[in-house]
Chain A
Amino acid sequence: MARSNKPIVWGPFAAGGTLTAFLTPALILLTLLAALGHAPDLLAYERLHAVASHWLAKLVIVGIVFLSLWSAAHRLRITLYDLGMRADALVATVVYLIAVAGTLAAIVYLLRI
């Protein structure tokens, strides 16, 4: 049997999953704190805006956004398959395109900073 090419899509999924596992809880906590008006000064909007204006920070943010979106897209694809949706090629195309579109949007917004 031929070895599968699935690692192309699975690699970013696994990397994104690991990232989200660590980052999402922290993001939720920070968002809640910000909503309550208690975001620490270090993470204030102006400061984060300044960080995001550096090209290296932009690169890192794009990487994080892409991997997280890709991970969610892949998980959704697998879940839909498990739920009985057998049009896997169509589902895969749609969800991966959404992840890519989200990444492109992040790039556009970051370039405007």
Chain B
Amino acid sequence: MSERVVELEVLRYNPETDSEPHFQRYSVSCEEEWVVLDALNKIKETIDPTLSYRWSCHMAVCGSCGMMVNGEPKLACKAFLRTFDGVIRVEPLAHFPIERDLVTVIDDFVMKLKRVKPYLIPKQDKPVSEGEYLQTPAELKKYKQYTLCINCMLCYAACPEYGLIPNYIGPAAIALAHRYNQDSRDGGRDERQEEIAATEGVWDCSFVGACSEVCPEHVDPAGAIQQVKIKSMVDWYKEHLMPWVKK
């Protein structure tokens, strides 16, 4: 194992003392195979215990350590130091207010996630005695990809539309709504459409596709959004041009 000194430029902000955020430079000796999160942990342990950031699993599962690394939204636990040259600039996720240092206020995303009802709403309730809701592998395949979302919010930091239009529901929430809409056991699509077929839902998306590029779990939220657009369009034409067709 070889070590090298890595220069990190980290955005600092303490709401109690700072009027605005500023960058602080750290030189930290790191192992060759370390990720940005390891470097931050070493800074916190050996140089500056006041540095604040979120992390938990260190294996791209919990979705806590999303931050901007050299301007791109990344999971700090998946961003290998050896892939960067020179000074590495680390900032909190774009488009979210800063709570402290690299910690952002994520209330907006959480509220939007709640609005799209990301849980199974069965077509009709049945008693436990009637057994499980069965599903074929083909039915599972229709939505499995969208279950991989870890709510890391990298897609929100990457989405220029979310930056422009704060009310836009955004990639992850729409992809999760789509995940339940695609589930053969679910009957809640009508309720979710009220949110995602609104202007602030899929129609604020201009298909930039950045969400899918940065997604660490390859959920492809942009694909989900386009599928929702097509289905919502069919709904609209049915409702307005063929009102005699029952939903």
Nearest chain-A residue to B200 (Cβ)? A1
Main secondary structure of the interface of A (DSSP, over half): helix
Residues 86-108 of A at the B interface (beta carbon under 8 Å): none
Interface residues of A in 74-90 (CB under 8 A from B): 78-79, 81-82
Give the bracket for the number of chain A residues in contact with chain B. 10 to 19
Q: Is the CB of A3 within 8 A of B237?
A: no
Query: 1/0 per residue B29-50: CB within 8 Å of A?
Result: 0000000000000000000000
Contact A10 to B203, CB < 8 A, known contacts A1-B198, A3-B232: yes
A residues 4-46 in Cβ contact with B at 8 Å: 4-8, 10-11, 14
Please report the total number of B residues contacting A with Cβ < 8 Å: 21
Out of B161, B198, B208, B237, name the residue touching A11 (CB < 8 Å). B237
Enumerate chain A residues within 8 angstroms of B232, measured Cβ to Cβ.
3-4, 7
Are B206 and A2 neighbours in the complex by a CB distance under 8 Å? no
Complex CA gap A10/B203 in Å reads 9
The answer to whether B206 touches A10, judged by C-beta atoms less than 8 angstroms apart, is no
Task: For residue A77, give the distance in angstroms from its CB to the closest CB of chain B.
Answer: 10
Could you say which of B66-74, B92-100, B139-147, B189-197 contacts chain A?
Answer: B189-197
Q: Are B230 and A14 in contact (CB under 8 A)?
A: yes
Instruction: Kindly state whether residue B160 has any CB partner on chain A within 8 Å.
Output: yes
Quick one: closest B residue to A75, CB to CB?
Answer: B206
B164 contact set on A, CB distance < 8 A? 82
Contact A11 B233 (CB under 8 A): yes
**B221 part of interface (Cβ distance < 8 Å):** no
Contacting pair B198 A3 (CB below 8 A) = yes
Given A6-B199, A78-B206, 12 new contacts (CB under 8 A) = A1-B195, A1-B200, A1-B201, A2-B198, A3-B193, A3-B197, A3-B198, A4-B197, A5-B236, A11-B233, A11-B237, A82-B206
A–B complex contacts, Cβ < 8 Å, 20 sampled? A1-B194, A1-B195, A2-B198, A3-B193, A3-B194, A3-B198, A4-B197, A4-B199, A4-B201, A4-B232, A6-B199, A7-B232, A7-B236, A7-B237, A10-B229, A11-B233, A14-B229, A14-B230, A82-B160, A82-B208
